[in-house]
Amino acid sequence: MANYTGRNQLIIKVDQPLPSNNDIKRLHWADYNRLKETWLWSMLTHKQPPEVKSYFRKIKIIRHYSVANKKHPQRPFDFDNFIGGMKATIDSLKDLRLIEDDRPDKLSHGQHEQLPDSVKAHGWTEIILEK
């Protein structure tokens, strides 16, 4: 689901959890490419409207982790695992040409968050892009 809150902001909601950096580090390079492709395809449905001609320059990622299952609730990642887990997502945004590059002079990071979700049985990810 994509939400345009004006020409300068895009909110993408992806119905899959953000992986941790530990998960990504254990992947074979071919498995990482498949993970990146999964993110790419899940965001490909969020096409830019024709009037959006430039790249987004600021990103904020919100990881919603499930606490609905009282027996096995998810928990927040350590900060380094949370940040490192964003790599496949950000690489996919670059492949989709929503961001020009992930270098600091091309993309700034907002205050990334991890929030509990007591309704859904699995985690999901929200990506907020701004010009």
Average pLDDT over residues 8-25: 88
pLDDT digits (tens, 9 = 90+) for 109-123: 999 999 999 888 889
Average pLDDT over residues 19-31: 91
Domains of the chain, earliest start first:
2-130 (3.30.1330.70)
pLDDT digits (tens, 9 = 90+) for 33-78: 898 888 888 887 765 555 656 789 999 999 999 898 888 888 999 9
HEC sequence for the chain? CEEECCCCEEEEEECCCCCCHHHHHCCCHHHHHHHHHHHHHHHHCCCCCCCCCCCECEEEEEEEEECCCCCCCCCCCCHHHHHHCCHHHHHHHHHCCCECCCCCCCCEECCCEEEEECCCCCCEEEEEEEC
